[in-house]
Structure 1
Amino acid sequence: MRVLFAASEAVPLVKTGGLADVVGALPKALAKRGVDVTVMLPKYGEISKDVTDRAVYLGYTFVQMGWRRQYCGVLEIIEDGIRYLLLDNEYYFNRGYLYGYGDEAERFTFFSFAVLDSLQVLSEMPDIIHCHDWQTGLIPMLLRTRYANRPGYRDIRTVFTVHNLKYQGVFPRELLQDLLSAGDDLFTEDKLEFYGAASCMKAGLRYADKLTTVSPTYAREIQTETYGEKLDGLLRERAADLYGIVNGIDTDEFDPMKDPHVPVPYRDSRAKKRQNKIALQQELGLQADGSVPVIGIVSRLVDQKGLDLVIEALPELMEENIQIVILGAGEPALEATLQEAVQRYPGRLAVWFGFNEGLARRIYAGSDIYLMPSKFEPCGLSQLIALRYRTVPIVRETGGLCDTVESFNEYTGTGNGFSFGPASAHDLLFTVRRALFFYRDENAWAKILANGAKRNYGWDNSAREYERLYRELAG
């Protein structure tokens, strides 16, 4: 069975967020189960020259997109045992960043056409095309309409995965009509039309054979008005085809015993973990004291991630004997507020603005508690990485956080972290204080850590579910 992943980013070639981690790790888990997986990406200028110099040129095609006829080269490279195909068009993809340009609609409409046209360059057709997020949402629609009668395309089935429903690829209707050379019949309420505009996400949700999202709880949440981002009606309509499959992490990549960014390798040794805490405190200018609990946050600094709750609770949080470390970038107002807070709490609060992979790993390794108070969270990988690094998560009860973090029950001894329901600073503060109470209880904390160590946070179970879905589709 041949499966083609179409995505806008993937580790280890190019990454801006969790999508890349998933698209990089899931194919490796599927390959272990005997699934033949190829990953297709744009050939961005950000992909390192070392990678592109090793890529093998397979051929080219021309993509007809409205009145535009654009070149598309196809290059192949094997990384970590997985075959990657890079689609080359310098006009669209040889830029300084992956996203954020005024012609995003044109760039990713081109990519959608190019994924399907480039199959003519290859020696085989896939059984399944697995599309990821809005950047590939047009592919199932094109396959069902424009390519339906072309030889070899009719039997291809599609899976469309929603990684975050908030980001939908909504563009002016007239623009997508031009790019797709499509008439009004494609832009009705039951197809691509979206409140007077047009939505690439909606195209994927409407036309793909099967839909998945990245946790069972999020699959239920997005069928409600609260979390459905105005697509909940369509998602309820397609509920029988919608599956929630929780993400995993690459446990080889995220391993505190082998992580080159971690000063002292460890697994379950609390003494060695404490050494990493002291090293982190020294690196970030905090008071070096192994007995003080450190709370870590690695996050985009945006409203979704609940950083406003942290800021609101900060004065009372800092009444506790704790230190807080934050790594991330995002909304200027949040950054400015955190910068002011650093001045108020010298030696106890450290904030690094931007992203630094090595520092992120050291925060996971050096923190005692990992705080993730998201307003909504489709799955979340950070809490899984924290658990892998034996750092106890505190999360809000939403999406994949519900499916992966069980709040500690002191009466039964179960639970691998702590959680709270309402998105309020009061509930966050109460839960942090509850976690600190058990942190001071050596036996209770050891039990929480042991519970977290029992679970496999890798991709094996999820890959099994995806394989079952593919085989059902492929007959």
Structure 2
Amino acid sequence: MASVAESSFPLLCQIKSQRRVTSSTLRNSSLVRVSPPHFASGSLSFRRRSFVLGHRSEFARCVEATAPDSSGSPSGDDEQEDALQATIDKSKKVLDMQRNLLHQIAERRKLVSSIKESTPNLDDGKPSAKEDANTTTDAAKKEKMDGDANGSVTYVKSSLNKEPEATTPLKSSKQSSPSAKSPEKEKPSGVPWSSVVASSVDPPYEPSSTITSSKKTSDPVTSSGNTSKSPAGAFWSDPLPSYLTKTPATPSIKTEEYMETKEEKIHEEASSDTNEPSKDEEKPPPLAGANVMNVILVAAECAPFSKTGGLGDVAGALPKALARRGHRVMVVVPRYAEYEEAKDVGVRKRYKVAGQDMEVMYFHAYIDGVDFVFIDSPVFRHLSGNIYGGNRLDILKRMVLFCKAAVEVPWYVPCGGVCYGDGNLAFIANDWHTALLPVYLKAYYRDHGLMKYTRSVLVIHNIAHQGRGPVDDFSYVDLPGHYLDSFKLYDPVGGEHFNIFAAGLKAADRVLTVSHGYSWEVKTLEGGWGLHNIINENNWKFRGIVNGIDTKEWNPKFDIHLRSDGYTNYSLETLDVGKPQCKAALQKELGLPVRPDVPLIGFIGRLDQQKGVDLIAEAVPWMMSQDVQLVMLGTGRPDLEEVLRRMEHQYRDKARGWVGFSVKTAHRITAGADVLLMPSRFEPCGLNQLYAMKYGTVPVVHAVGGLRDTVQQFDPYSETGLGWTFDSAEAGKLIHALGNCLLTYREYKESWEGLQRRGMTQDLSWDNAAEKYEEVLVAAKYQW
């Protein structure tokens, strides 16, 4: 307990030091050498004084001496009086310091009490933070002063009981305030990179079951004499030289707007809807403990704002799972449209891309405990229908701008009034679109002694897309010349070329894939798509983690997209009623005949050869002959988009093709379809099959990558399995597996219901995956 008190109140160390000096003086003084039993009238007397320090603790003090020594020598009397006076003076100083400490404790308690009183009590039946503080403030143990055999005084050190930390989560940004703020100082002109040191930023105050202090990555900020009071409402951040921007960031002035938005979110979450999961159904995962970090996930898409495939779902769900474990988490994505939740934070920066200055603006939203930061620029606008549209150079320029702006977000974008800084920070980049981020982090910061303890993790969602081009494309990425070799890759067919994914794999501290099976496939010649040698050379930092799903968004019992237009929410208990109703509503919405006896087959995904859309096109004539209905949703290659249009035109009563992407329609197809097709030639993980099983829709998949890991073949004899699989990317194999599926649907209703129920009862949440991601981040942090 003493160590806790010393760490919380540094002045205690000084007081204890003064006590030791006082005790030593008393022992050395001749006045206390007289044995206590021989004290008579006029001899040395002792009096105890009790001092209360927050709780009851006793400090004995020698305060009076009334008689001279029996020797009567004048010189001895003077020495004794001087020694006694020195002891009394030192005791007074100690008492003054203790009074100052009491005042400091009282001030801190007032601050903590005001914070706790302003915390909204979101959980009914639970005591508030203020009540917790009152009930846990007990009196400290009383300690006694003992005299030794020689009459010397021994002071027993008192300990302060540590007050339990409040467990009520603070979601209001008003409670996020740094303990000390240093004024921003501009980098003097002419200073070399190596001489510039950036101060680390302490994370904002967020009570949790444990409180950890981030390790400082730069010189500490001196708090005495060097701090200046910030104006009200102004954001602050530590200075960091920007090597990517052309102009300094404009500080934000929209604190009040952010506070109001965040308070509205708190009130919305506090007033729980009847259709939302109850507290009993949502069990919080264990907290991260001592490994709490600042995590920034950077991706080209993020559900529900922008999504074309599984990457958007991962970017939308994984950060929430990490935040539930106690981490401070941010998601950085381009702003493709005007999102209602996102507010302009007032920060403007300029970056040079291909010799042209481009300005970006930053928008912010706080949702489900996660900071969402949107980077706005004219090059991102009006791309919501096809976010990967444009020619090769246009896409490359967009990604260069995005990565340059994203790597500086923790320094210039205040979230809750405080920037993330580089303290205990880890970036999670996703696919080739953000593979430049680990390279920029290394080239512009770590190579110059800045952000030395910031780590980067690169996640491979689809290794087939690599950001390839001619070697001349290196001139667009704005990097020192010696980095060219990191981008060069030799292709036996195309020769030497420029490859962004290759450079990202080399620069990242850790590399992940989204399933165990895919982590093995990318190391092979067939599955590595030319990068297998680099992956095998960096095998030590490689790992596979199976994705989960956001069970709050993807849950038929609480799905907000099933509350209108004839759809309905359903669960395992109401499956036999709710799912047929959703099927009828989907048929009606799509303009198909409402026939409950006809199997409704769905496909959701990117229109790409990798997804096996061409195999479905080959199998369409056979499917239409089997009296089924087919609906396909997706966007991608123009020729495959045309396949969907022709299919709908040819089979108007049986097929529908939706070119584009709609989150609401994806949810409704998942709920209303009986079967989901995923004939992917390769699939790193796949999420649609997980969504389908959660909604009681049976998947038919090609047994590759994550599909093999998550969908087990149905066995009619043992009544086990979750769907049907086929082992070769051929239309004939797809037709064979789908034929068995349709036979079971029509002839074996009990087996079909068993497939649905087994899929719905699986634990597919992100909490398990988030724990494994945390292990990787910690390993990267300590370079295990």
Q: Which moved more, 1:65-74 or 1:235-244?
A: 65-74
**How far did 1:271 drift?**
2.5
2:568 matched residue in structure 1: 264
2:425 matched residue in structure 1: 127
Letter of the 1:22 counterpart: V
**Is 2:454 the partner of 1:156?**
yes
The answer to whether the 8 Å contact 2:303/2:313 transfers is yes
**How far did 1:301 drift?**
2.6
**How far did 1:136 drift?**
1.6
How far, CA to CA, are the matches of 1:320 and 1:178 in structure 2? 53
The answer to whether the 8 Å contact 1:132/1:160 transfers is yes
Matches within 5 A, 1:224-373: 224-262=524-562, 263-268=567-572, 269-373=575-679
- Matched position secondary structure for 1:187: helix
Q: Which moved more, 1:25-34 or 1:124-133?
A: 124-133
- Matched position secondary structure for 1:360: helix
The answer to whether the 8 Å contact 1:368/1:391 transfers is yes
Larger relative strand fraction: 1
**How far did 1:282 drift?**
2.5
**How far did 1:187 drift?**
2.1
The answer to whether the 8 Å contact 1:386/1:392 transfers is yes
**How far did 1:387 drift?**
0.9
**How far did 1:445 drift?**
1.2
The answer to whether the 8 Å contact 2:332/2:372 transfers is yes
How far, CA to CA, are the matches of 1:240 and 1:162 in structure 2? 16
Percent sequence identity is: 36
1:27 matched residue in structure 2: 319
2:394 matched residue in structure 1: 103
How far, CA to CA, are the matches of 2:426 and 2:326 in structure 1? 15
User: Of 56, 78, 84, which aligns to 2:366?
Assistant: 78
Task: Please list the CA deviations of residues 31-84 of structure 1 after superposition, one character each: whole Å capped at 9, or x if unmatched.
Answer: 111122112233x25142x234x3433x45554667555545444331232112
**How far did 1:469 drift?**
1.0
**Is 2:299 the partner of 1:7?**
yes
Q: Which moved more, 1:383-392 or 1:341-350?
A: 341-350
**How far did 1:176 drift?**
2.0
How far, CA to CA, are the matches of 1:12 and 1:356 in structure 2? 10
Matches within 5 A, 1:424-435: 424-435=730-741
**Is 2:459 the partner of 1:172?**
no
Task: Please list the CA deviations of residues 85-127 of structure 1 after superposition, one character each: whole Å capped at 9, or x if unmatched.
Answer: 3344x35434545433443323322332323334432352152
Count of aligned pairs between the two proteins: 467
The answer to whether the 8 Å contact 1:35/1:467 transfers is no
Task: Please list the CA deviations of residues 268-324 of structure 1 after superposition, one character each: whole Å capped at 9, or x if unmatched.
Answer: 222221122122222223332212221111233322221222222223233324222
2:489 matched residue in structure 1: 194
Task: Please list the CA deviations of residues 381-423 of structure 1 after superposition, one character each: whole Å capped at 9, or x if unmatched.
Answer: 1111111111000000111111111111122222111110111
How far, CA to CA, are the matches of 2:453 and 2:527 in structure 1? 34
The answer to whether the 8 Å contact 2:302/2:312 transfers is yes
**Is 2:432 the partner of 1:143?**
no
- Matched position secondary structure for 2:477: helix
Give the direction of change, closer, same or farther, for the CA distance of 1:333–1:4 in structure 2 (3 Å limit). closer
**How far did 1:338 drift?**
4.2
The answer to whether the 8 Å contact 1:14/1:47 transfers is no
**How far did 1:209 drift?**
0.9
The answer to whether the 8 Å contact 1:171/1:198 transfers is yes
The answer to whether the 8 Å contact 1:392/1:448 transfers is yes
Matches within 5 A, 1:199-218: 199-218=499-518
**How far did 1:252 drift?**
1.0
- Matched position secondary structure for 1:103: helix
**How far did 1:426 drift?**
1.2
**Is 2:737 the partner of 1:443?**
no
Task: Please list the CA deviations of residues 328-354 of structure 1 after superposition, one character each: whole Å capped at 9, or x if unmatched.
Answer: 334444344444444554422233333
Give the direction of change, closer, same or farther, for the CA distance of 1:291–1:223 in structure 2 (3 Å limit). same
How far, CA to CA, are the matches of 1:261 and 1:76 in structure 2? 25
**How far did 1:438 drift?**
1.9
User: Of 520, 542, 551, which aligns to 1:220?
Assistant: 520
User: Of 408, 411, 416, which aligns to 1:117?
Assistant: 408
Q: Which moved more, 1:293-302 or 1:66-75?
A: 66-75
**Is 2:341 the partner of 1:51?**
yes
**Is 2:317 the partner of 1:17?**
no
How far, CA to CA, are the matches of 1:427 and 1:312 in structure 2? 11
- Matched position secondary structure for 2:561: coil
How far, CA to CA, are the matches of 2:661 and 2:434 in structure 1? 26
How far, CA to CA, are the matches of 1:100 and 1:305 in structure 2? 18
- Matched position secondary structure for 1:234: helix
**Alignment RMSD (CA, Å):** 2.3
User: Of 310, 320, 329, which aligns to 1:37?
Assistant: 329
**How far did 1:131 drift?**
1.0
Structure of larger gyration radius: 2
The answer to whether the 8 Å contact 1:7/1:135 transfers is yes
**How far did 1:358 drift?**
2.4
Letter of the 2:777 counterpart: Y
**How far did 1:368 drift?**
1.1
Give the direction of change, closer, same or farther, for the CA distance of 1:264–1:12 in structure 2 (3 Å limit). closer
Unpaired segments of 5 or more residues in structure 1? none
How far, CA to CA, are the matches of 2:729 and 2:581 in structure 1? 34
- Matched position secondary structure for 1:180: coil
User: Of 380, 395, 417, which aligns to 1:93?
Assistant: 380
The answer to whether the 8 Å contact 1:76/1:86 transfers is yes
Letter of the 1:265 counterpart: N
TM-score by length of 2: 0.56
**How far did 1:164 drift?**
1.1
How far, CA to CA, are the matches of 1:372 and 1:215 in structure 2? 16
Greater relative CO (CA pairs within 8 A, separation 6+): 1
How far, CA to CA, are the matches of 1:182 and 1:271 in structure 2? 63
**How far did 1:217 drift?**
1.0
**How far did 1:130 drift?**
1.1
- Matched position secondary structure for 1:468: helix
The answer to whether the 8 Å contact 2:521/2:705 transfers is yes
2:265 matched residue in structure 1: none
Q: Which moved more, 1:330-339 or 1:239-248?
A: 330-339
